[in-house]
């Protein structure tokens, strides 16, 4: 994990005191709400329906147990005892008081955390693969690159007032668990044809919201040394040419679309030529320095089997289900990756109580080298658990209601906060996700359905990523009633696709049935159990689903 | 009293904006700055005058259009029409870093306390603060942050290369 230098600490302290001054000027009326808005947003503070909401950055989704305990402390002291993990690997608090926020930031700074650039029209927290460093399909650990991007983008003086928000994701593995195609910039780590050089496939102009688009590959291979100069060139072109006349046309995806991919590429390359040899060029010693923070932990040399584990697998079906659904193989023999499901019928997706956070921190210390990761599907990961510890960990997770065996399955729903919290929302999303979870909360059914994703957004801004779900649900307000549109066929993985609306929207009390019908068509139509929902949909198209829903 | 900061000091502004060359009016004496199109149209006339010259760019202009003129100019005025519009940050960096402009780069428009730090890092050294801002109180904005990660007009190298 990256360790803060004296200067990193200094920067956080200065930022807290700067923000304290801004809050003070606001409370004294020296700063108008409109002008304060730009400042508070750059520190993750939104004004929501009922209260302020504070979004705390979790750079590339990596947390130490000590940081998790601080998050619990904040939930307890300044909020209503819980926090909400978001689709950008961050955590949000829904009930802080404005005058408390500087103190919250002080507490965060003590554990090297902050809310810098978690909102506003600037470069946001860089997201990555939650399995970075432990995945079997990894080409190279993406986190050192993410850390360089974090430093480059933090208080970047030129790019702090962009046309619109700007999100960067980095993936370092064969399978894309970071959704690179739906970010303003997505970097997919690849090896050159000769396999001797590491570089990136550069996607630009992906994004969801009102106009969902997949990123275009504007460079098939960018040598890693050029990563930051190239990002700087893209941002510079965007800052000068991105539209500022219409907030809904201001994302870089619209610039790429309106300029044309070819022309946009030429503009970026021309700018890059002029700066590629500058101070942001990355040398071997720069990589060595940053990679030093992400060395493999001291793994024990242990066999990839354990008698107690295997016995429990044979004798306890519930344990075996959990292992089947929520455990993934680790690159290291004798270790496993454990998903902690934050998706139960009892809590909104992504919500964790302060007590759960403390307990998770303890479990991380006890079983997983003291680290926790957050995922863009709003779950948590303990990444380094020994096989022999799985039975004990499972018991403890069950007691915490964190062992629902549903990772990447139908009840592992992504949901935005929706109209229960959000000032932008036009419909509720949490009650819909809970109704769906309650309806399909049957292990055999979940297991039979296999790999399928449902995402729910409570408005057209698409924070719940409904466009890239296999089954997407969008809540809209039609003449005073909340209705729900269904989109099918989306994917946020390496086969990324934007789902298509299947037909007229459903009332709130019809949408769960509609999802049930879609799932039934799949189960009846698949050619073999290995054919996933997405494969069946791609084979058959919309027709059979449409017929069942509206026929 | 001018609400103006130059090189991190409250100063009085000796520059006059001037437009109206097309009316055939006589050119004023003293230090003036003109919109970029008037400069491009009437370079020679402007240069025969006594007094220093500046040019005001719109924030949609590519600063390259005056790159060959910079050694004859003492001031480039940039516009921040509203706080959220950050195009001039890029213009400032290009003027300083790419085209080597040594004169005053001035921010005008919504020039507010909380942007001064960023403007300064991009090479802006003259600040025409918005009327409701207090110039002497604003000076401390330049020192609120002392740690900078990335290269800009004030630093050639990123922090990770400066530390060792």
For B55-96, how does the pLDDT look when each residue is reduced to its tens digit (9 = 90+)? 999 999 999 999 999 999 999 999 999 999 999 999 999 999
> Which of helix, strand or coil describes residue A81?
coil
Sheet holding A371-374, edge to edge: A62-64, A371-374, A380-386, A335-340, A327-329
Cross-chain residue pair B86–A15, CB shorter than 8 Å: no
**Which residue of chain B has the CA closest to A38?**
B84
A22 interaction partners in chain B (CB closer than 8 Å): 114
- Within 13 Å and on the Cβ side, how many CA atoms surround A527? 8
In total, chain A counts a number of residues equal to 551
Cross-chain residue pair A157–B147, CB shorter than 8 Å: no
A161 touches chain B (CB under 8 A): yes
- Start-to-end CA span in chain B (Å): 46
B90 interaction partners in chain A (CB closer than 8 Å): 158, 236, 239-240
Cross-chain residue pair A161–B62, CB shorter than 8 Å: no
B161 interaction partners in chain A (CB closer than 8 Å): 279, 286
Picking from B10, B2, B1, the residue whose alpha carbon sits closest to that of residue B142 is B10
**pLDDT value at residue A420:** 87
Which of A17, A236, A286 lies at the smallest CB-CB distance from B160?
A286
Q: Distance, in angstroms, between B6 CA and closest chain A CA?
A: 19
**pLDDT value at residue A504:** 97
Cross-chain residue pair B151–A159, CB shorter than 8 Å: no
Please, what is the Cα angle at A377 between A372 and A383, to 5 degrees? 25
Residue A265 neighbours by CB distance under 10 Å? 18
Question: Is the four-CA dihedral A200, A205, A208, A212 of positive or negative sign?
Answer: negative
Cross-chain residue pair B149–A155, CB shorter than 8 Å: yes
Which of A161, A240, A289 lies at the smallest CB-CB distance from B160?
A289
B136 touches chain A (CB under 8 A): no
To test the contact with chain A by mutation, choose from B64, B120, B123, B149 the residue with the greatest count of A C-beta atoms within 10 A, namely B149
B148 touches chain A (CB under 8 A): yes
Between positions 237 and 266 of A, the ones with CB within 8 A of B are 239-240, 244
A225 touches chain B (CB under 8 A): no
Which of A14, A22, A278 lies at the smallest CB-CB distance from B146?
A14
Counted across chains A and B, CB pairs separated by less than 8 A come out at: 103
Please, what is the Cα angle at A470 between A468 and A471, to 5 degrees? 100
Contact A164, A238 (CB under 8 A): no
Cross-chain residue pair B147–A279, CB shorter than 8 Å: no
Residue A24 CA: distances (Å) to CA of A156, B66, B116: 24, 42, 18
What phi and psi, each to the nearest 5 degrees, are found at residue A547?
Answer: -65, -45
SS3 content of chain A, % helix, strand, coil (to 5): 40, 20, 40
Q: Distance, in angstroms, between B70 CA and closest chain A CA?
A: 19
Helices and strands per DSSP (H, E), number in chain B? 6, 8
**pLDDT value at residue B23:** 64
Which of A21, A154, A160 lies at the smallest CB-CB distance from B149?
A154
Which of A152, A158, A278 lies at the smallest CB-CB distance from B90?
A158
pLDDT (tens place) for every residue of chain A, 551 residues total: 999 999 999 999 999 999 999 999 999 998 888 889 989 999 999 988 888 999 999 999 999 999 999 999 999 999 999 999 998 899 999 999 999 999 999 999 999 999 999 999 999 999 999 999 999 999 999 999 999 999 999 999 999 999 999 999 999 999 999 999 999 999 999 999 888 899 999 999 999 999 999 999 999 999 999 999 999 999 999 999 999 999 999 999 999 999 999 999 999 999 999 999 999 999 999 999 999 999 999 999 999 999 999 999 999 999 999 999 999 999 999 999 999 999 988 888 999 999 999 999 999 999 999 999 999 999 999 999 999 999 999 999 999 999 999 999 999 999 998 998 888 899 999 999 999 999 999 999 999 999 999 999 999 999 999 999 999 999 999 999 999 999 999 999 999 999 999 999 999 999 999 999 999 999 999 999 999 999 999 999 999 999 999 98
Cross-chain residue pair B159–A35, CB shorter than 8 Å: no
**Which residue of chain A has the CA closest to B90?**
A158
In total, chain B counts a number of residues equal to 164
Q: Distance, in angstroms, between B68 CA and closest chain A CA?
A: 17
Enter the CATH code of domain A414-550: 3.30.413.10
**pLDDT value at residue B28:** 87
CATH fold for the domain made of A307-399: Sulfite Reductase Hemoprotein; domain 2 (3.90.480)
Q: Write the DSSP symbol of residue A122.
A: S
A240 interaction partners in chain B (CB closer than 8 Å): 62, 87, 90
Which segments of A27-178 are extended strands (E)?
Answer: 45-47, 52-56, 62-64, 82-85, 91-93, 127-128, 168-171
**pLDDT value at residue B25:** 67
What residue has token string 């000796």?
A: B14
Between positions 461 and 500 of A, the ones with CB within 8 A of B are none
- Domain layout of chain B by residue ranges: 4-162
Between positions 19 and 58 of B, the ones with CB within 8 A of A are none
Enter the CATH code of domain B4-162: 3.20.20.70
To test the contact with chain B by mutation, choose from A116, A240, A280 the residue with the greatest count of B C-beta atoms within 10 A, namely A240
**pLDDT value at residue B164:** 58
Contact A484, A508 (CB under 8 A): yes
Which of A148, A155, A161 lies at the smallest CB-CB distance from B85?
A161
Residue A181 neighbours by CB distance under 10 Å? 28
Cross-chain residue pair B89–A7, CB shorter than 8 Å: no
Which residues are bridge partners to B16 per DSSP? Answer: B32
**Which residue of chain A has the CA closest to B58?**
A240
Rounded Cα gap, residues B55 and B95, in angstroms: 12
> Which of helix, strand or coil describes residue A115?
coil
Residues 6+ apart with CB under 8 A from A380: A85, A339, A340, A342, A352, A360, A372, A373, A374, A402
Enter the CATH code of domain A6-110: 3.30.70
What is the distance of C-alpha A341 from the center of its chain?
15
Cross-chain residue pair A152–B158, CB shorter than 8 Å: yes
CATH fold for the domain made of A134-293: Sulfite Reductase Hemoprotein; domain 1 (3.30.413)
Q: What is the dihedral of CA B4, B10, B16, B17, to 10 degrees?
A: -20
Predicted confidence (pLDDT) per residue in B93-143, tens digit: 999 999 999 999 999 999 999 999 999 999 999 999 999 999 999 999 999
Rounded Cα gap, residues A232 and A516, in angstroms: 47
Q: Distance, in angstroms, between B75 CA and closest chain A CA?
A: 20
Q: Distance, in angstroms, between B59 CA and closest chain A CA?
A: 8
Q: Distance, in angstroms, between B125 CA and closest chain A CA?
A: 14
What phi and psi, each to the nearest 5 degrees, are found at residue A332?
Answer: -100, 130
């Amino acid at each position: 994990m990256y360790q803060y230098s004296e200067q990193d600490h200094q920067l956080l302290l200065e930022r807290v005191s700067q923000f304290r001054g801004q809050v003070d000027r606001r409370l004294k009326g020296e700063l108008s709400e409109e002008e304060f808005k730009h400042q508070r947003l750059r520190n993750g503070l939104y004004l929501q329906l009922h209260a302020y909401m504070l979004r705390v950055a979790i750079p590339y989704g990596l947390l130490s147990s000590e940081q998790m305990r601080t998050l619990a402390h904040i939930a307890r002291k300044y909020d209503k005892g819980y926090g909400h993990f978001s689709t950008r690997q961050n955590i949000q608090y829904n009930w802080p008081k404005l005058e408390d926020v500087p103190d919250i930031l002080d507490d965060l700074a003590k554990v090297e955390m902050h809310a810098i650039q978690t909102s506003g029209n600037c470069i946001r927290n860089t997201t990555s693969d939650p399995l970075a460093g432990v995945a079997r399909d990894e080409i190279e650990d993406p986190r050192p690159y993410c850390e360089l991007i974090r430093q480059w983008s933090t208080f970047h003086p030129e790019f702090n007032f962009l046309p619109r928000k700007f999100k960067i994701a980095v993936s370092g593995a064969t399978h894309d668990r970071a959704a690179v195609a739906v970010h303003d910039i997505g970097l997919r780590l690849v090896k050159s044809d000769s396999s001797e050089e590491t570089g990136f496939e550069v996607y630009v102009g992906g994004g969801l919201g009102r106009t969902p688009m997949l990123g275009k590959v504007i460079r098939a291979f960018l040598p890693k040394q050029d990563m930051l100069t190239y990002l700087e060139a893209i941002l510079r072109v965007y800052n000068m040419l991105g539209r500022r006349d219409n907030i809904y046309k201001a994302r870089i995806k619209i610039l790429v679309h309106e300029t044309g991919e070819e022309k946009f590429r030429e503009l970026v390359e021309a700018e890059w030529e002029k700066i590629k040899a500058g101070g942001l060029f990355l040398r071997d010693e720069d990589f060595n320095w940053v990679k030093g923070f992400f060395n493999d932990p001291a793994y024990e040399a242990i066999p990839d089997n354990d008698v107690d584990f295997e016995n429990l697998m044979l004798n306890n079906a519930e344990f075996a289900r959990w292992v089947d659904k929520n455990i993934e193989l680790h690159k290291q023999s004798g270790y496993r990756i454990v998903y902690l499901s934050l998706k139960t019928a009892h809590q909104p997706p992504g919500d964790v109580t302060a007590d759960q956070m403390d307990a998770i921190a303890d479990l991380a210390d006890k079983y997983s080298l003291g680290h926790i990761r957050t995922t863009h599907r709003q779950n948590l990961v303990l990444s380094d658990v020994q096989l022999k510890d799985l039975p004990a960990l499972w018991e403890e997770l069950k007691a915490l209601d964190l062992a629902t065996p549903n990772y990447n399955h139908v009840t592992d729903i992504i949901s935005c906060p929706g109209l229960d919290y959000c000032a932008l929302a036009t419909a509720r999303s949490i009650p819909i996700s809970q109704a769906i979870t309650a309806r399909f909360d049957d292990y055999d059914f979940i297991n039979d359905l296999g790999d399928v994703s449902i995402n729910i957004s409570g408005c057209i801004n698409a924070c719940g990523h409904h466009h890239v779900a296999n089954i997407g649900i969008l809540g809209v307000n039609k003449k005073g009633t909340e209705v729900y549109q269904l989109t099918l066929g989306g994917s946020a993985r390496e086969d990324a696709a934007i789902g298509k609306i299947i037909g007229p929207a459903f009332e709130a009390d019809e949408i769960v049935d509609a999802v049930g019908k879609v799932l039934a068509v799949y189960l009846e139509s698949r050619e073999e159990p290995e054919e996933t929902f997405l494969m069946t949909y791609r084979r058959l198209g919309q027709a059979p689903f449409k017929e069942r829903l509206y026929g | 009293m001018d609400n103006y900061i130059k090189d991190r000091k409250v100063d009085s502004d000796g520059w006059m904006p001037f437009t109206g060359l097309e009316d055939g009016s006589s050119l004023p004496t003293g230090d003036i700055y003109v919109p970029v199109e008037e400069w491009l149209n009437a370079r020679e006339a402007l240069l025969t005058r006594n007094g220093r010259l500046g040019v005001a760019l719109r924030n949609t202009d590519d600063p390259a259009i005056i790159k060959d003129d910079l050694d004859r100019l003492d001031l480039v005025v940039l516009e921040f029409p509203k706080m959220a519009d950050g195009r001039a940050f890029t213009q400032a960096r290009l003027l300083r870093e790419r085209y080597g402009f040594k004169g005053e780069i001035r921010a005008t428009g919504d020039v507010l306390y909380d942007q001064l730090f960023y403007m300064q890092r991009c090479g802006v050294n003259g600040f025409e603060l918005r009327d409701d801002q207090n110039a002497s109180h604003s000076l401390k904005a330049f020192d609120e942050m002392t740690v900078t990660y990335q290269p800009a007009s004030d630093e050639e190298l990123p922090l990770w290369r400066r530390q060792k």
